[in-house]
Chain A
Amino acid sequence: MTYTSYLFFFGFAVIVFMVYSLVPVKRRWIVLLVGSCLFYAVNSGFSIIYLAVTTLTSFFCAQKLTRIQDDFKAAKKELSKEEKKKLKDKVTKKKKLFAGAAIVFNLGILAFLKYYNFFAEQVTNVFGLFHLDFEMPLVRLLLPLGISYYTLQAIGYIVDTYRGKYKAEKNFAKLALFLSFFPQMTEGPIGRYDALMPQLYKGHTYSNENFTGGIILVLWGFFKKLVISDRISYIVGVVFSDYNDYSGLLIAISAICYTIQLYTDFSGCIDIMTGISKMFGIELAVNFRQPFFSRSVAEFWRRWHITLGTWFKDYVFYSVSLSEPFMKLSKTAAKHFNKFFASVIPSAVALFVVWFCTGIWHGASYKYVAYGLYYFLIILIGTLLEPVFAWLSEKTKANRKGKLWGTIAMLRTLVLVVIGMMMFRADSLMDFFRMFLRMITTFDFNEVSGGLVFTLGTDKHDFFIIAVGLIIMFVVDILKERGTDVLSKVAAGKIYIKWPVMIGLIMMIVVFGAYGKNYGAVDNIYAQF
């Protein structure tokens, strides 16, 4: 989606909001459902069938899981301990079968649409290696809007019902609303049924604080997207497409710029969607928490795209590492290694699965797989070296919680993250390697002093706007990190505070936003995944 689509989206949301406010409180969730279906149908046409199929399978599977669990609870009352255990095993197997079938089916749809052509190309290439004339046919596939997000939501709902976290939803329309709620359809956040559904169902009455707070968040999101992200995207585009023409320093600057572009683009979009939901009185899950203040890569991922990270943690990492084969692996490792390695090995294997999936979730390309494995290796090495770091800090009496250590750790994390982002943005894995090699072998400071940096699709005027935008954004982020949420305070503040802020934001977006005939509209990066 481009900013024009977001303007349309915001207009659409305002109309839904007006209808929502006019309908009796108890029926308001129906307005959200109709609005969401309408939004999806207008944007995706017949692709709504995919969403309907996922909703139907999730609904019936979860119903069945709850019925099996309820029957077991009723039956076990009259059984002996041994009989109970036998029945439990039988019930678990049955539940696994139903949940597994629904998960495989829905993941299968996602995998086919997202990875089939990539897979077909690889098969053709392998046959080509042996000079065999076989070509696996490619299919023209269109990825339905939000499929990578709503499929994860549906799987989360099925797994939670399987685990007995909550009972299945009895009303099909309510589950349909949970999976189709329009603000989270484009780029998430990936919602949880137990946190989101009660809010969606409860009819919210108009609240001035929610409404103004929502509008301020929407404006803040547009500010990040239009003033910073879309403007900085020109530098990134110029260098990444012709990196052989630039020396190491400019490549490094463009990689930093891309990191900023991705953050302002993605978190800006999430702010717009969170703001729209807030207008209705609905709080979406938090997806970013000042990620650039992280002291380790693992912490970065607890603050960046939080809902994806927690999804993989809860439904992949925990499922894999607590499964029977992994517990056995843990016991086997305990016999052959010391206690530390014995406990690291099983979680390292589970971690590998998580990062492989995280990488490939972003798309069908070797660079995404490498991107996931890059973070897996960094986090694993960090874990393995933890005893060494602890020993070193004890010997040197270094305070690992201190400011100096914190700043060094933050900078180290930033460097590692920027390298990861470079891989993420490069056209291919080979391009990343070539680019990285060029970056570290051809550093030339003259390119900056000679003013070449201003020819990267931008001029001094652009740099000035980007710099001011970044300063404003980082001041707000620093204050939030220290416990002061400026945007919420403004929303709850007096009229002579919030109106000037809102007007100021609008002025900045209108005057300094990168739009109009000199700027092409830039697609949101995470909407393509």
Chain B
Amino acid sequence: MDEILEILGEVKPGVNFEGETDLVESGILDSMTIIQLVARLTDEFDIEITPLDLVPENFNSVEAIKALVDRLAD
């Protein structure tokens, strides 16, 4: 979780991500930031994220991102 928070802080500085549950719909994470995030996640966790994974439900909160990473790492 800490690693994900660290990456989020780098791609989108100045946001307190903990407790946020609406990151995509509220516009905090737009498609460009999501792609930056995906590039970092694939590199960091050695996973493959496909366009089908790029849905708001997978990126709306830190927990959702963690769940996506865990699922793809399996």
Query: Is B73 in the interface zone, CB < 8 Å from A?
Result: no
A327 touches B51 (CB 8 A): no
B3 located at the interface, meaning its Cβ lies under 8 Å from any Cβ of chain A in the complex: no
Q: Is A485 engaged at the interface, CB distance under 8 Å to the other chain? A: no
Name B11's contact: one of A165, A343, A394 (CB within 8 Å). Answer: A343
Q: How many residues of B contact A (CB 8 A)?
A: 23
**Which of chain A's residues 387-402 have a Cβ closer than 8 Å to chain B?**
387, 389-391, 393-394
Binary B-proximity of A326-361 (CB < 8 A = 1, otherwise 0): 010011001000011011101100110000000000
Say whether A318 faces chain B, with CB atoms less than 8 Å apart.
Answer: yes
Name, among B32, B37, B43, the residue most crowded by chain A CB atoms within 10 Å (CB to CB). Answer: B32
- Find out whether the CB atom of B13 lies under 8 angstroms from the CB atom of A390: yes
Q: Are A163 and B51 in contact (CB under 8 A)?
A: yes
In Å, the complex CA distance between A84 and B32 comes to 33
Q: Considering only CB atoms and an 8 Å cut-off, how many residues of chain A contact the other chain?
A: 35
Residues on the A chain within 8 Å of B38, using CB: 321-322
Q: Which residues of A contact B36 (CB under 8 A)?
A: 343-344, 347
Of all chain B residues, the one with the shortest Cβ separation from A314 is B51
Given A163-B52, A318-B54, are A379 and B14 also a contact pair (CB < 8 Å)? no
Tell whether B35 is near chain A: CB-to-CB under 8 Å: yes
Checking A299, A314, A343, A350 against B40 with a beta-carbon cut-off of 8 angstroms, the contacting residue is A343
The 8 Å CB contact of B51, one of A322, A339, A343, A344, is A322
B49 within 8 A of A: yes
Q: Is B43 a contact partner of A331 (Cβ separation < 8 A)? A: yes
Q: Shortest beta-carbon distance, B31 to chain A, in Å?
A: 5
B27 at interface by CB-CB < 8 Å: yes
* A383 at the B interface (CB under 8 A): yes
Structural contact, A318 and B51, CB atoms closer than 8 A: yes
Across the interface, do A350 and B35 meet the contact criterion of CB distance under 8 Å?
yes
Shortest C-beta distance, B72 to chain A (Å), equals 13
CA A386 to CA B30, docked complex, whole Å? 13
Out of B30, B40, B50, B52, which one reaches A298, CB within 8 Å? B30
Given A302-B27, A322-B51, A330-B43, A394 contacting B35 (CB threshold 8 A): no
Q: Is A313 an interface residue (CB 8 A)?
A: yes
17 contacts between A and B (CB under 8 A): A164-B52, A298-B32, A299-B27, A302-B30, A317-B35, A318-B51, A322-B38, A322-B54, A327-B39, A330-B43, A331-B43, A342-B39, A343-B11, A343-B39, A347-B32, A386-B12, A394-B14
**B interface list, Cβ under 8 A from A:** 10-14, 27, 30-33, 35-40, 42-43, 49-52, 54
Interface residues of A, Cβ cutoff 8 Å to B: 163-165, 298-299, 302, 313-314, 317-319, 321-322, 327, 330-331, 334, 339-340, 342-344, 346-347, 350-351, 379, 383, 386-387, 389-391, 393-394
